[in-house]
Amino acid sequence: MPEAHRRLRSAKWYNDTGVNGFLQRSALRTQGLREKDYQRPVIGIANNTSDFNRCHMHFGGMVTALKESIIAAGGLPREFNSITMGADLAHPLGMTFMHRNLLAMEIEQTAALYGVDGLVMLGACDETIPGMLMAAASIDLPTIILPGGPSFSGYWRGQEVGSGYDCHRAFEALGRGEFTDADLTDMESAVERTAGHCTSMGTAGTMVTLAEALGMAPAGSSAIPAVDSRRITMTRDVGEHIMSAVLEDLRPSQIMTRQAFENACRVLAAIDGAANGVIHLLAVAGRLDVDFRLADFDHLSTSTPVLLNLRPSGQYLYNDFFNAGGVPALLNAMGNLIHRDVLTVTGRTMGEEICNSTILDERVIGTLDRPISPPRGIAVLHGNLAPDGAIIRAGVASAELLKHRGRAVVFQSKAEQEEELYKPDFDIRPGDVVVVLNGGPKGSAGMPEYGRIQVPDKLLQLGITDMVRVTDGRVGGTVSGTAVLQIAPEAAVGGPIGLVQTGDIIVLDVANRRLDVELTFQELSARRARRPSPAGPNPPARGFAKLYVDTVMQADTGCDFDFLRRFPSQVTTEVEEHR
């Protein structure tokens, strides 16, 4: 047996003696493998493609190219499947968020169970990339994130249209009487023209960008369109990179350091990325021995200008980002705002990876001298409604609503809001603040996109196109509008947001990072004493949903399970035993 293979984790399986080794090698030979095949480094390929996920329809070609490259580089590829994560085909919309943790657990357990030396994880749709980053952090075997890339930009009636953002604008136009149902039906076929994730800077676009900023995806891998031949070329490079990472024993814990998370946080601000990026980065950091907190997002965002002009806060789409130079050009344009000496999955530093990248279109990617806008990014709010914090994505909010005082209109659930708010005779007035409760991780049993709240037709017809929304839930990254999100603690665990009643006055002051209700401490205490024990509307009685509600943490720490967070010596015990 070669000495190099003695050091491989997979040798514990395939060079074992006795009946165990016999059975494992017999199983490999049943697959047509020779001894020299399974003496190679074994690379696990995590692929969650299914017919329920249009973002991943092209993964077959990528996996083929990846396997060929791994074999050519001296490895043995082994593909495995995991739970599918098609956010836009799930009901309720965005309910795949709860399965992010399950995806991470599945990959971790697969790696613990089988003899793999390194991993390549393919993802694109919203929660796939963060789930895979969480798994990589817990497993801590050499790992590369391989993004699937964006769809081609949509095109409808003479103009480019993007996922989510332009769809919501179309529904607003329908409410004003400018579009018909037939127009919307026609638009459905034009928004997503190919496989790949959303083309605006939604959650998927944000997370693939952040994976590259963390150093866990190779430089330049995120923005290549899904069906562009250059993505196959890049995939072949990944096969060589993972073999090098295994031989050099380059692990995620060496890459995802405090400095790497600072880079990712600044990039989130620079791209004016989705608010979900906050909750996902907190969850990934929580799987590592990295002290990274909600307050860091506010601190780093205030000194990071916006350098990317993408919808929903800007003008262009993700394909334009690629043509303008992609993530490497953006990172290089950030100058000394980022740490350039951090490691990446290629074994090279971030500075080495991006130093020759240039901006090809300054309409899309700005510079520190000529930014797209001054700093705005993610603002972290506190106050008597959000003791542990809440966030607002200022770039998609209306400037005139960032300081606002209005009457609360409170709904105890998303179902109640959907049933009542859009009735023609419902009492909703200009300046009102819509509050939707029980949208948090426990109250909604999974935290779907309950913060996605359209302006009622009666306000649209008055020329009002935005309003303040306040919720302990989330919203999709392609959505624009003024929304205070992810309030912690949530109503279902006794958070003060659950004490608000219709008619109360809510004050939002983003500049001073405040979210308050104009009630005295004594009145809030009296309401708390009168309120029955808080709980979600219908707590689950069994299955994964019950596990989720029983063990999930709050939004300010990333909504991971309490038994998986920041205990790397315990989480990876099963993996460590076989290293």
Number of domains comprising the chain: 1
- DSSP 8-state symbol, 399: G
Q: Is residue 382 part of a domain?
A: yes
pLDDT recorded at residue 537: 67
Q: Which two tokens stand for residue 572?
A: 């990876």
Q: Is residue 243 part of a domain?
A: no
Distance CA 103, CA 133 (A): 10
pLDDT recorded at residue 564: 92
| Per-residue pLDDT tens over the stretch 133-165 | 999 999 999 999 999 999 999 889 989 998 877
Cis peptide before 534 (omega within 30 of 0): no
Task: Indicate whether 575 pLDDT > 60.
Answer: no
Q: Extract the runs of DSSP E, i.e. beta strands, from 198-356.
A: none
Residue 159 host element (H or E): strand 159-161
How buried is residue 169: exposed, middle or buried, by Cβ count under 10 Å (0-12/13-18/19+)?
A: middle
pLDDT recorded at residue 536: 63
Task: Indicate whether 576 pLDDT > 80.
Answer: no
How buried is residue 191: exposed, middle or buried, by Cβ count under 10 Å (0-12/13-18/19+)?
A: buried
Q: Is residue 20 part of a domain?
A: no
Instruction: Report CA Rg, the chain.
Output: 24
How buried is residue 41: exposed, middle or buried, by Cβ count under 10 Å (0-12/13-18/19+)?
A: buried
**For range 344-357, the mean pLDDT:** 98
| Per-residue pLDDT tens over the stretch 82-127 | 998 888 888 887 788 999 999 999 999 999 999 999 999 999 998 9
| Per-residue pLDDT tens over the stretch 77-93 | 999 999 988 888 888 87
Q: With contact defined as beta carbons under 8 Å apart, do 249 and 313 qualify?
A: no
Residue 154 host element (H or E): strand 154-156
| Per-residue pLDDT tens over the stretch 530-542 | 987 776 667 899 9
Q: Is residue 494 part of a domain?
A: yes
**For range 52-72, the mean pLDDT:** 95
pLDDT recorded at residue 574: 45
**For range 314-340, the mean pLDDT:** 97
What CATH number corresponds to the domain at position 521?
3.50.30.80
| Per-residue pLDDT tens over the stretch 209-265 | 999 999 999 999 999 999 999 999 999 999 999 999 999 999 999 999 999 999 999
* pLDDT, mean over the chain: 93
**pLDDT > 70: percent of the chain:** 96
Query: Nearest 10 degrees: CA dihedral of 534, 431, 395, 558?
Result: 0
Q: Is residue 483 part of a domain?
A: yes
Task: Indicate whether 2 pLDDT > 80.
Answer: no
Q: Is residue 162 part of a domain?
A: no
pLDDT recorded at residue 172: 82
Among 187, 390, 230, CA closest to 294: 390
Q: Is residue 567 part of a domain?
A: no
Quote the pTM value.
0.95
Task: Indicate whether 428 pLDDT > 80.
Answer: yes
What φ, ψ does residue 435 adopt, rounded to 5°?
A: -115, 120
Confidence of residue 175 (pLDDT cuts 50, 70, 90): confident
* CA 437 distance to own-chain centroid: 22
Cis peptide before 252 (omega within 30 of 0): no
Task: Indicate whether 1 pLDDT > 70.
Answer: no
Q: With contact defined as beta carbons under 8 Å apart, do 70 and 54 qualify?
A: no
Q: Is residue 165 part of a domain?
A: no
**pLDDT > 90: percent of the chain:** 83
Distance CA 154, CA 156 (A): 7
Task: Indicate whether 369 pLDDT > 90.
Answer: yes
Distance CA 579, CA 268 (A): 35
Q: With contact defined as beta carbons under 8 Å apart, do 147 and 206 qualify?
A: no
Residue 455 CB contacts under 8 Å (≥ 6 apart), including other chains: 172, 175, 464, 465, 466, 467, 481
At 577 the three-state DSSP class reads coil
Q: With contact defined as beta carbons under 8 Å apart, do 131 and 558 qualify?
A: no
- Residue numbers of the domain that contains 505: 378-539
